[in-house]
Structure 1
Amino acid sequence: MTTPDQLASVRYLVDDVQEAIDFYTTHLGFTLRASAVPAFADVVRGPLRLLLSGPASSGARATPEPAVPGRNRIHLTVDDLDTEIDRLRTTGLTFHSDIVAGPGGRQILLLDPAGNLIELFQPASPPPATAPARS
């Protein structure tokens, strides 16, 4: 089991490892840690370690049923969702959803080149602190 000071790792199956490296490092601020293109790459952003497994990797072996594709996703917190959307659209990326807002914040879904979901999330601003009442 990992300890609290270790990276949290998520494995994404991708069709083209180099294309996935380029996508995550260019558009989403990940840094390449290791690669064995065309089979595998290891990229990080903060405490998230994303393992990109191509068709030639052992990690790409079939997932036992009843796996439901497309429901799981990595969740990246951003300071300004609108600015991130504009930045990514200017690079030619398209989104898989519209912005969804709820009590916790706003989010939008992006697809990587292999169809894996990435949620960009801007937390709701905390309410302003109120001064204690004076008597």
Structure 2
Amino acid sequence: MATVRYLVSDVELAIAFYTRHLGFVLRQQFGPAMAILRRDDLTFWLAGPTASAARPMPDGRTPEPGGWNRIVLEVEDLAALIVRMREAGVPFRNEIVDGPGGRQILCEDPSGNVVELFEARA
């Protein structure tokens, strides 16, 4: 089992996004500071602005959401999922990319964190 932490701007919005669009289940919530979600064997921690993970580093840098690191979620029908997510207003950074192992696309959660949706070749 793997655990991944994402910094988010709003824990409630992030919970709604990941449970509604990507099949995560809320396991535990600590007010507006943090939530723990689960999908298959991935435990996913969402840390809001008041979480300890968002405290400034000794050099003054402040952790923030966004960037290009990402979780990859394998999906069965990429095209259908994209249609549903676009209809719900989910932003995408690109169009479908065909690669040697399958097809992928990058969407963003409400805080600008990237999620790669990947459909393996048959």
- TM-score, normalised to structure 2's length? 0.89
Mapped to 2, the partners of 1:92 and 1:72 lie a distance apart of 22
Is residue 21 of structure 1 aligned with residue 18 of structure 2? no
Match of 1:79, SS?
Answer: coil
Is residue 92 of structure 1 aligned with residue 89 of structure 2? yes
Which has the greater radius of gyration? 1
- TM-score, normalised to structure 1's length? 0.81
Q: How many residues align?
A: 117
Deviations 1:58-98 (Å, cap 9, x if unpaired)? 11124677x9x622100000111101101111212121111
Map of 1:130 onto structure 2: none
Give the alignment's Cα RMSD to 1 decimal. 1.7
Ranked by relative contact order (alpha carbons within 8 Å, sequence separation 6 or more), the top structure is 2
Percent identity, aligned pairs only? 51
Deviations 1:18-64 (Å, cap 9, x if unpaired)? 11111111111100000012100000100111100001111112467
2:71 to 46, 50, 74: 74
Counterpart amino acid of residue 13 in structure 1:
L
Map of 1:129 onto structure 2: none
Unaligned runs of at least 5 residues, structure 2: none
Map of 1:9 onto structure 2: 3
Runs of 4+ in 1 over 2 A off after TM superposition: 61-65
Mapped to 2, the partners of 1:98 and 1:61 lie a distance apart of 35
